[in-house]
Chain A
């Protein structure tokens, strides 16, 4: 029998809250990036984003359970989710792309319910398991501990963000994507097929989300009901940081995660949802474009 008495100083506690917050925040940031990519080109706020994350997690777990190695399972999951994202755009969003924004948002809500319903029929409501990517022993950082899988999540989020940044800056497709985001009409005139860019946006953000779902899976034990919560958090993160900048979404995600963890740690666990909303309202009241959001409409 052990006696639980630790010398955990106040600063160690704050450090631990911050570390927990950053790892939760990077999950929000991955979802937020998906919102950003789709919004920038199509002006659609895609509330099925969280369902893509759910699909990524559930498919990875299923492929893994049926005998594939973890890497292959995640790859398959990402491919299948990407295809679902593309079909979603092509069959649902594309035909009504000129509908008013609120109608498009409602449609994505509808699709999210359909995806969840089908997933529930396929998998039931039970949680599933994805193994840790690497060792399980936590890494000590000063007086606090970091779960190695959380490190995977944080690093993946940063790698994805940097990758997206380079893609938009330095590749022809990326530049075409950015052009469509800034002005669809002008991009059209320059010979860029903006509708293709819409398809690319859905593919890219579904793929990211699926990967995010797989990386966070070992910590969160994915089940079919996780999507809506992630959509709300990811969207909040994107709004706080700015829905049209990669840096903005990253900062928004981390800020939201850390604030929630500090609120739960220093005030009470019940207060964290309220704190997130208050921060969002505060940011929107003073900077409607988000903390880092640019004034120009569609920058990525």
Chain B
């Protein structure tokens, strides 16, 4: 009796196993289509990084669709497996482990932010999976000991990223300060992790570059009355003010500084030129100097600029297919991440029967990328595993960015 009852269950399991194991084989026989190249994508669709993360998601999906419509890569369709990290490092790590272990992707793009990238980088390194950590700071490729602001000496083998770091931003700021002839500076930063990182970097790099910071001030992310730190700043002598913050409060600080009669040049950070801020503050931002990324200029880019064409293409793609009115830094991270992977896949032509070997081929291809023209990054992969991301000195006039200087493309070679 007992045996009889067990038998149907046993045979069901057997049948199921047999059927499932046949599916891939049958599928191959039936379609004989090339196996897709599986690429993992981690971004912040929810949480505080979502304004940027959703842009990265949209652009990545649109680019993958475009690549597949044009026949894929080496005849293989591209399969994008995307996970949301919720702007949270632990969720980012979980997503990465899933991509590596379960989805068995060839390479991973993301995460977008430094905090999450720092948690993910050692894991990708140990698992020997190429990771393009987008806009995270140089800490995601550098290994300790690293004597900031000197270039990092030891670099992670499997990690690559865009050449974005507070230090590179500082190089652009120094250039702009020299343009206006400022030497003595006032610096105010927002009191979150990003603001503190910008302050630390500026503290480390400004002295060597020949600048003296007369006063360091801090303000809260949600502050709407900045007159207190501005009063303290106003009480010391300085030639230019630097506002290191990406939020609305930074823009309000600029406006109130002008209202309080501070007439020196004031330099703000690229996100202050974002649509949502400019739309609200309008002409109040006029006169603000910003080291901007290429995409922020959009149509205002010079026609000779090689990045103008891809930027306009991205803008059209984004405007036609999503409800964004223009392309921003979030979109550029998605676009460049996918295209760099496509180039790496193309030249590696990986052997898909051996996953470990394929991943290592793609890593080597990443390392030797040359002459890339993206919407954020341009040029050759440096020996620090970064594709340089140029900045353009800009001024806000009539609520719009205008270039006031030549493109600066900082790498660690410029940091001495």
Contacts and interface: CB of A to CB of B under 8 A. Distances in A.
Interface of A: 1-6, 8, 12-13, 16-17, 19-20, 23-24, 126-129, 136-138, 144-145, 147, 219-221, 223, 225-226, 229, 261, 264-265, 268-270
Contact of B227 (A8, A16, A129, A220): A16
Nearest to A263: B228
B252 A4 contact: no
B257 to A, nearest CB: 10
B231 interface: yes
B260 A269 contact: no
B280 interface: yes
A4 B280 contact: no
Contacts of A126: 276, 279-280
A229 B234 contact: no
B220 interface: yes
B266 to A, nearest CB: 10
Contact of A269 (B224, B228, B264): B228
B391 to A, nearest CB: 21
B349 interface: no
Interface in B40-55: none
B231, B240, B265, B276, most chain A CB atoms within 10 A: B231
Contact of B231 (A5, A128, A229, A265): A265
A145 B261 contact: yes
Given A8-B235, A221-B281, 5 more contacts: A4-B237, A4-B241, A6-B261, A13-B231, A24-B225
Given A20-B225, A270-B191, A2 B217 contact: no
A229 to B, nearest CB: 6
Interface of chain B, main secondary structure:
mixed
Contact of B263 (A2, A8, A20, A137): A2
B218 A20 contact: no
Contacts of B36: none
Contacts of A19: 227
B177 to A, nearest CB: 11
Contacts of A265: 228, 231-232
Interface string B181-202: 1100010000100000000000
A4 B263 contact: yes
A1 B264 CA distance: 6
B259 interface: yes
Contact of A5 (B217, B237, B259): B237
Contacts of A223: 248
Nearest to B237: A5
A138 B276 contact: no
A3 B186 CA distance: 12
Nearest to B263: A2
Contacts of B260: 138, 145
Contacts of A264: 228-229
Interface of B: 180-182, 186, 191, 217-220, 222, 224-225, 227-229, 231-232, 234-235, 237-241, 248, 252, 256, 259-265, 276-277, 279-282
A127 B229 contact: no
Contacts of A24: 225
A270 B222 CA distance: 13
A4 B234 contact: yes
A261 B180 CA distance: 33
A129 B220 contact: no
B218 A270 contact: yes
A259 B228 CA distance: 12
18 contacts: A1-B182, A1-B265, A3-B264, A6-B235, A6-B237, A8-B231, A8-B234, A8-B235, A20-B227, A20-B228, A23-B225, A127-B248, A145-B259, A147-B259, A221-B224, A226-B222, A261-B228, A269-B220
B231 A1 contact: no
A129 B264 contact: no
B44 to A, nearest CB: 14
Contacts of B263: 2, 4
Contacts of B237: 3-6
A145 B265 CA distance: 21
A19 B238 CA distance: 24
A221 B217 CA distance: 22
A229 B235 contact: no
Contacts of B191: 269-270
A3 B239 contact: yes
B228 A1 contact: no
A121 B245 CA distance: 27
Give 3 closest A-B pairs by Cβ, nearest first.
A2-B263, A220-B224, A5-B237
A223 B252 CA distance: 14
Contacts of B228: 16-17, 20, 261, 264-265, 269
Contacts of B280: 126-129, 221
A229 B218 contact: no
Nearest to B232: A265
